[in-house]
Amino acid sequence: MQDFVYQSAPMRVVFGTGTLHQLPDELSRLGVTRALVLATPRQKDLVAGIREMIGEHFAGVFTGAVMHTPVEVTERAMETVREVRADCLVAIGGGSTTGLGKAIALRTDLPQIVLPTSYAGSEMTPVVGQTSGGIKTTQSSPKILPEVVIYDVDLTMTMPPKLSATSGINAIAHAVEALYARDRNPVISLMAQEAIRTLTHALPKICAQPNDKTARTDALYGAWLSGICLGAVGMALHHKLCHTLGGSFNLPHAETHTVILPHALAYNAPAAPDAMTRIAAALGVSDAALGLHDLARKLAAPASLREIGMPESGIDQAADLAVKNPYWNPRPIEREAIRELIARAWRGDAPENAIG
């Protein structure tokens, strides 16, 4: 067994059905009185319900959260923080809203309560990705980690099947990279395998029957485990590529992860055979990269960067950015090989044709 260091995150997690109604108690537990609610424009109905639920604890709302946490949006939200004299953040939504809350916490150290409505997993990490001038960078700090996460299966029941599929594969990506991270450890590896297995079984059921509460519960559980993995160990090539592509071309986050993951896995397969064996076993297949490719096709998820809005002219730019300040990776990052990976992902080729 390898030498390892394991440290658990100091966070309170409330998981179940109907757990949203525990929000007032969690605010009281934190000892806060002026909560700023963060959301996207589409979540105004949820915000109205939260406002009624928390009563006098409600200080205001900011509904401008968008993908990739643009710095200019965070600056506008900071104006609201100051105007309402917020002493706490309540973020409801997916990765966009969670990212905004974390960006504000980085600047203010305000306590955060997160109410996830997707399988993004960002709520479990002390990392925030921010975009400025078309470049997305990440930063880690203890101030970024939310104090409380309330997982309510009911909040995921209306997530459309297509978004459920891509959000779920995004979660799988967190677990996949944890299995070959430089600082991996046995505890996180067990969580990663369980996350992949659980999501792999739940997502097809959700796509076939979106109101299957058991499958929704399993998927949210798998997403929680994946988020723990993402927050506990380092990221590698897959996340670097997705941050580069998403920030530079404003591509949808979960869809980008869905397209890139099989190709990144094929790239790293020769350098991480044990991880590939574990991933394949969790998927119930013989080849990890092909198994993820086939899962995405089964879920009718996007197959190429082209169909989610990336221009072919951006392939070289993306390759240049991907090799600049690269994350640690089990296989060396080589510019021409990375360019070919991105080109294949842009076309929608199957991963068995990837270099390696």
How far apart, in whole angstroms, are the C-alpha atoms of residue 95 and residue 107?
18
- Write out pLDDT tens, residues 34-57: 999 999 988 888 999 999 999 999
Quickly count helices (H) and strands (E) in the chain: 13, 8
Q: Which residues contact 255 (CB under 8 A, 6 or more apart)?
A: 166, 301, 302, 308
pLDDT value at residue 10: 79
pLDDT value at residue 67: 87
Using the predicted structure, report yes or no on whether residue 352 has a pLDDT greater than 90: no
- Write out pLDDT tens, residues 54-110: 999 999 999 999 988 999 999 999 999 999 999 999 999 998 999 999 999 999 999
Q: How do beta strands 58-62 and 88-93 pair?
A: unpaired
Q: Which two tokens stand for residue 281?
A: 């076993």
How far apart, in whole angstroms, are the C-alpha atoms of residue 171 and residue 65?
20
What single-letter DSSP state applies at residue 129?
Answer: E
CB 335 within 8 A of CB 320: yes
Q: Dump the DSSP string for 6-46.
A: ------EEEEESSGGGGHHHHHHHHT---EEEE--GGGHHH
pLDDT value at residue 356: 40
Percentage of the chain lying above the pLDDT 70 cut: 98
Q: Which residues contact 194 (CB under 8 A, 6 or more apart)?
A: 222, 225, 282
- Write out pLDDT tens, residues 253-307: 899 999 999 999 999 999 999 999 999 999 999 999 999 999 999 999 999 999 9
Phi and psi at 120, nearest 5°, equal -60, -40
- pLDDT-based confidence at residue 355 (cuts at 50, 70, 90): very low
How far apart, in whole angstroms, are the C-alpha atoms of residue 38 and residue 27?
15
Beta strands in the chain (DSSP E): 12-16, 35-38, 58-62, 88-93, 112-116, 127-132, 135-140, 148-152
- Write out pLDDT tens, residues 82-92: 999 999 999 99
Q: Does residue 8 or residue 140 have the better pLDDT? A: 140
Cα 71 from chain centre = 19
How far apart, in whole angstroms, are the C-alpha atoms of residue 224 and residue 314?
34
Using the predicted structure, report yes or no on whether residue 353 has a pLDDT greater than 70: no
CB 54 within 8 A of CB 35: yes
Burial 235-261 (b: 16+ CB within 10 A, else e): bbbbbbbbbbbbbbbbbbbbbbbbbbb
Query: 283 - beta bridge partners?
Result: none
Q: Dump the DSSP string for 145-182.
A: S-SEEEEEGGGGTTS-HHHHHHHHHHHHHHHHHHTT-T
| List of domains in the chain | 12-156 (3.40.50.1970), 161-353 (1.20.1090.10)
How far apart, in whole angstroms, are the C-alpha atoms of residue 48 and residue 46?
5
- pLDDT-based confidence at residue 1 (cuts at 50, 70, 90): low
- pLDDT-based confidence at residue 348 (cuts at 50, 70, 90): very high
- pLDDT-based confidence at residue 354 (cuts at 50, 70, 90): very low
Within 10 angstroms of residue 182's Cβ, the number of other Cβ atoms is 11
CB 167 within 8 A of CB 296: no
Q: Which two tokens stand for residue 355?
A: 């270099």
